[in-house]
Amino acid sequence: MTTERIESSALRSMADAYQLWNRCGLFLDQYDSPREMGWRKYFEEKPGNFLACYDGERLIATCVMLDDGRKITIQRLAVESEYQRRGIAKTLLDAVEKEATNRGLNGVCALIEDTNEKSRTLALKAGFEEKPSARYFTKSIYR
């Protein structure tokens, strides 16, 4: 029997998060290098924007909430493969919706890669509306 629990807190280990994201096949780009301090700094400054699910001390799921003052954008929703299909991702989505309501925001959106059919299906079942006209653009300014 596992003792899964969800915490809204500062990330305990950036390395654990990167390893989980990698195992879950999440897109990692030049902004996501473990050597970079971007995510670490974000989590330290805004610890309430990170949801983590632990089984004991093991990180088994994550969800990053980016709050722009109007809505929360979900990124890095990941659940360890052996913990999938237990309702953890749906619980994380529910926690994000509750947080958006508590903050007085207007909605929640999710950034999902085209190839991530599991997340797309989850979002649709959770009541999200797909916007196929949206595209994600990126420009590196790293020097």
Closest CA to 31 of 46, 20, 42, 16: 42
Contacts of 80 (CB under 8 A, 6+ apart): 20, 23, 24, 60, 61
Do 101 and 95 form a contact (C-beta atoms < 8 A)? no
> Could you report the per-residue pLDDT of 19-40, keeping only the tens digit for each?
898 898 886 665 555 555 567 7
Closest CA to 73 of 49, 48, 44: 49
**Other Cβ atoms within 10 Å of 46 Cβ, number:** 14
**Predicted TM-score of the model (pTM):** 0.82
> Could you report the per-residue pLDDT of 80-121, keeping only the tens digit for each?
999 999 999 999 999 999 999 999 999 999 988 888 898 999
Chain-centroid distance of CA 12 in Å reads: 15
Do 127 and 96 form a contact (C-beta atoms < 8 A)? no
* CA atoms within 13 Å, Cβ hemisphere of 94: 6
